[in-house]
Structure 1
Amino acid sequence: MSSTAAASPAIPVRTIVCLAAAAFTSGASLRLADPLIPQICDQFGVSVSDASVVGTGFTFAYGLSQVVYGPVGDRLGKVLVILISCVLCSVFSVAASLAPDVGALGLFRLLGGAAAGAIVPLCMAHLGDTVPYEQRQGVLGRFLAGQMLGILAGQTLGGILGEHIGWRNTFVALGVVQLAVALLLWVDLRATRVPPTRTVLSLPAIVGTYMALARTPHVRRVVGAVYVEGVLFFAGLTYFGAFLRQEYGLGYDTIGAMLAAFGLGALAYAAQAPRVVATLGQRGMMVGGGFVMLAAYLWSALTPVVWSFIPVFAALGLGYYLMHNTLQTLATQMSPQARGIGMSIFASALFLGQGTGVWAGGHVVESLGYPPLFAACGVGLAVLGWLFRRSLPQRR
């Protein structure tokens, strides 16, 4: 095995901005469809659980593709693979806009999820290769502002653009943005601003790395925790758009604007990430994030006055990233010698959890309604944060 990662210099600010832009497209792709679900139901005459394929197809493919992208990113160069993924995402977003039925739409979203699978985990692996661990959680928190802005834009513009130009043209707009980001990354690579972080592994070494990680108790705890987090959090978040439409009769653009508060809460965390890490420590962030999300989901289950959902969504954004950024930082150290593999396992578990949660959440909604789903998600996340804190040091 040969590696250039150990001696890599600090990466330039321009490269961080390009990686954050790529993370933006990933976040937008992930959440763009949430406020469009009611419109897709109307377009194709299907139920909410049938229309949820626009979310489950994307997230399951995103998760399963990680087994490929980790070793490929380590071998070919993480930023190059991210660039190629952005191009493919653009192609499949435009293809989704042409879907003749919900089955074809689900297929193109599945392919888009498989293409997008490289982006965020390989961005984080690249930062893990180039940023010392002591500074990494703060840097990752600020880098993830790109993904958070993408989530905010996806939720907001998904509703607003869906209302005014239709869901098909909304997917076309996403494809244009993804292609523009790919061009930015290509320019950065051509200018050789990106420090090399390649690690060439033989096939037996790759298999050995996966097996070694599977045998490590700490890795199993981190991967298991992020899977459960994905199931519980996104089982509720995905259906807020349909809930607000059904319960309050809101327009799609209003729903999108309200869901944007999630991104604002996440950005509030990103802006203060180093200070929050220093003040709370990893234990405090896990427990605090869990209980903030518990309070937000329980309030949602009470079906309160509609304006109160704005602070609820902001609290969900803050609580989620308090918990998730802690798990992400731990994941960057699961496999320092082949960080792409370690981050791919982590991201695979997260998005498989999201896909499971969206699928299960749709069935809970149809059987029991929205409030029981929201209450169960909040309680589960608080329990997860409380239990996982035991595996963390009192203060790093």
Structure 2
Amino acid sequence: MDATTDTGNEAKRPRSVRVVLLALMIAMLLAMLDNVIIGTAMPTIVGELGGLEHLSWVVTAYTLATAASTPIWGKLGDMYGRKGVFLTSIVIFVIGSALSGMAQDMGQLIGFRAVQGLGAGGLMVGVMAIIGDLIPPRDRGKYQGMMAGVMALAMIGGPLVGGTITDHWGWRWSFYINLPLGAVALAMVTAVLHLPKKERASTRIDYLGATLLTVGITAIVLVTTWGGTEYAWGSATILGLTALGAAALGAFLYVETRAADPIVPLHIFRSRNFSLMAVIGFLTGFVMFGAVLFLPLFQQSVQGASATNSGLLLLPMLLSMMVVSLIAGRVTTNSGKYKIFPIVGGALMVVGLFLLAQMDTGTSRLTSGVYMAVLGAGMGFLMQITMLVAQNSVEMKDMGVASSSSTLFRTLGSSFGVALMGALFTSRVQSEMAARGGAGLTQQSAQLDAASLAKLPEALREAYQHAVAAGTHSAFLLGAAVAVIGFLAAFFVKEVPLRGAGPEPAAVSPSPEVKVAEPV
């Protein structure tokens, strides 16, 4: 596109940018929907394939592969070009989906889920990094609502879609549904996204750093996944994994200071804003995924809601998050100011979690919905702003590793949140049930499904409901305490001007080195 054409088509740019973003959002939806849909189908999968003892690995294999590959995808995009690497991740994800749908036993399914997760790591990083290349930070706020909307759609629609597909088409279509969506994303990205080709990098990939980082991340995720469930926190397995993770990450930091082209350039952490956004992103992931886990459980066990519509139970939180994210993005675009949002978002998260910690067996759905809306507003101020500020804090050549590092910290935060809040919840439920004479009920698990709960004698059911309310109270109090750290960290954010000119009479302009194909 030469300068003359660029000026003549200025009015069309918003449409062309939106076409590219639509393709990116479809790819993001693939990664976000997958675990939610599969969770609904798991009972049916176990019924057909067996292997109940390996059930947790169906999710763990996917999570591990996603987390471990995330930094590597980001670096590859920086080295060899964003578009080709992103398309490769889509292809790997689709292949993993097809193979998972054809799995004949639990071992095959776990292996193919790892392939899927490997592709998913590149999907999320690719979307964020391409947006970082395509749209200047000052203008990026206009499109935050799209990303928040995709997240809300995945969380609300995932259980409904998963249940419908499993009931009418069979569990294999929970994986096959990714094939047409992936094909659409591939076709759209190939046709409308034109990024400059990069020369093949002269430096070698930092294989040693990548290996050490993968080992460290894998050990951490396994500790947070297995701790308190598969193995006791003080067991040799958990302690050994903790030591392995610490040693691998320590060696990784040493290697990265000496690598010619490190997989994660440590100089990006010299930026105060980038480091603060990594911390705030970690804490946001910690809180958000803990809330997503325990809110439906509370409403099903204590308030008698149906598990079938569990995604709808989160609607107040997700709608609030989406609306606030859209408003924050618009204000950021128009004013160029953003420091106030992490501060307000952190405060609302603390307040929302504290309110949720006050829920008991007498709390109405309306009241809990209002509390969820407060928490959702807090997350709405933080979800996209953290990535925006992180990307604005690095040079364009480091956009991929900045995006992948931010995504990784949020992923690790979610693992720690689910593990620590879950451990506290389980311990509190079991102690409350023991005090109320129902210790045997929760000897194996602190969670009962709605069908099992309905069959309990009334006294035992009420005891369990009080225990769940007490466990939820403890879990959300922990979340509130963690959120306080994020709130305090936000005060140290420095308001660095966002790259880009902000709103112009015509439209969004891609970065000078980025071209977007005009839609046919």
Residues 238 and 100 (structure 1 numbering): CA distance in 2 closer, same or farther, change over 3 Å? farther
Report the equivalent of 2:345: 289
- The structure-2 alpha-carbon separation of the partners of 1:70 and 1:394, relative to structure 1 and needing over 3 Å to count, comes to closer
Partner of 2:287: 232
Q: Determine the C-alpha separation between the residues in 2 that align with 1:249 and 1:294.
A: 27
Tell me the alpha carbon deviations over residues 103-126 of structure 1, each in whole angstroms, 9 at most, x when there is no partner.
876665554333211122222211
The residue number in structure 1 matching 2:311 is 256
Deviates more, 1:170-179 or 1:289-298: 170-179
Deviation at 1:25, TM superposition (A): 1.9
AA in 1 matched with 2:277: V
Closer/same/farther in 2, CA of residues 135 and 106 from structure 1, 3 Å limit? same
Identity of aligned residues (%): 19
Offset of 1:55 from its aligned partner?
5.5
Distance 2:60 2:375 in 1: 21
Q: Gapped runs of 5+ residues in structure 2?
A: 1-5, 205-258, 429-470, 499-520
Match of 2:391?
332
Change (3 A) 1:98 1:92: same
Paired residue for 1:131?
Answer: 135
Find the counterpart in structure 2 of residue 29 from structure 1: 34
Worse-superposed segment, 156-165 or 38-47: 38-47
Among 335, 347, 366, which residue is 2:426 paired with? 366
Equivalent in 486, 492, 508 of residue 384 of structure 1: 486
Counterpart of 1:19, as a letter, is L
Between stretches 73-82 and 30-39, larger displacement belongs to: 30-39
User: Does structure 2 retain, via aligned residues, the 8 Å contact 1:262–1:313?
Assistant: yes
Q: CA deviation at 1:163?
A: 4.5
User: What CA deviation, in whole Å up to 9, does each residue of 1:34-58 have, x standing for no partner?
Assistant: 66789999998989xx977666554
1:19 corresponds to 2:15: no
Alpha carbons of structure 1 residues 236 and 91: separation in structure 2 relative to 1, 3 Å: same
Residue 23 (structure 1) shift: 1.6
The match for 1:351 is 411
Instruction: Check if 1:321 corresponds to 2:380.
Output: yes
Q: What is the CA–CA distance in structure 2 between the aligned matches of 1:264 and 1:386, rounded to whole Å?
A: 26
Quote the residue 1:306 is aligned against: 365
CA 1:290–1:51: 2 relative to 1, 3 Å: farther
SS of 1:207 mapped into structure 2: coil
For 1:139-154, list aligned pairs within 5 A: 139-145=142-148, 148-149=149-150, 151-154=151-154
CA contact (8 A) 1:288 1:322 kept: yes
Question: Which is higher, the Rg of structure 1 or of structure 2?
Answer: 2
- Code of the residue aligned with 2:375 in structure 1: it is L
Contact kept, 8 Å, 2:29 with 2:154, in 1: the verdict is no
Q: Secondary structure of 2:492's partner?
A: helix
Structure 2 residue identity aligned to 1:327: T
Paired residues of 1:79 and 1:123 also in contact (CA < 8 A) = no
Offset at residue 142 of structure 1 (A): 3.5
Structure 1 position 210 matched with structure 2 position 210: no
The structure richer in helix per residue is 1
Task: Identify the residue that residue 179 of structure 2 maps to in structure 1.
Answer: 179
Is contact 1:39-1:167 (8 Å) kept? no
Over 3 Å counting, the alpha-carbon distance change for 1:385 and 1:159 in structure 2 is same
Distance 1:68 1:101 in 2: 30
Aligned-partner SS, 1:238: helix
Against the structure 1 CA distance between its residues 181 and 35, is the aligned structure 2 distance closer, same or farther, given a 3 Å change threshold? closer
Give me the whole-angstrom Cα distance separating, in 1, the residues matched to 2:282 and 2:389: 14
Give me the whole-angstrom Cα distance separating, in 1, the residues matched to 2:282 and 2:482.
12
One-letter amino acid matched to 2:194 = V
Q: TM-score, normalised by structure 1?
A: 0.80
Q: Secondary structure at the match of 1:27?
A: helix
Which SS does the other structure have where 2:380 is aligned? helix
Q: How many residues align?
A: 383
Q: Of 45, 64, 69, which residue of structure 1 is paired with 2:68? A: 64
- Give 1:377 deviation, angstroms: 0.9
Checking the alignment, whether the CA contact within 8 Å between 1:93 and 1:171 is kept in structure 2 is no
The equivalent residue for 1:241 is 296
TM-align CA RMSD: 3.8
Equivalent residues of 2:36, 2:154 under 8 A apart: yes
Secondary structure of the corresponding residue to residue 309 of structure 2: helix
Is it true that 1:342 corresponds to 2:346 in the alignment? no
Distance between the aligned counterparts of 2:52 and 2:425, measured in 1?
15
Deviation at 1:80, TM superposition (A): 3.1
| Counterparts in 2 of 1:233 and 1:128: CA distance versus 1, 3 Å | same
In the TM superposition, what whole-angstrom CA distance separates every residue of 1:158-190 from its partner, at most 9, and x where no partner exists? 433455554896864553443233322332354
Q: For residues 344-379 of structure 1, what are the alpha-carbon distances to aligned partners after superposition, in whole Å with 9 as ceiling and x for unaligned? A: 111111112212222223222211222211122133
**How far is 1:254 from its partner?**
2.5
CA contact (8 A) 1:75 1:200 kept: yes
- Residue of 66, 88, 91 corresponding to 2:92: 88
From 68, 79, 82, the counterpart of 1:78: 82
Aligned equivalents of 1:309 and 1:98: distance in 2? 42
Deviates more, 1:103-112 or 1:78-87: 103-112
**Distance in 1 separating the partners of 2:113 and 2:311:** 20
TM-fit CA distance, 1:260: 3.7
Structure 1 pair 274–366 and aligned structure 2 pair: CA distance change class (3 A) = closer
Whether contact under 8 Å (2:26, 2:185) holds in the other structure is no
Contact 1:188 1:194 in 2 (8 A): no
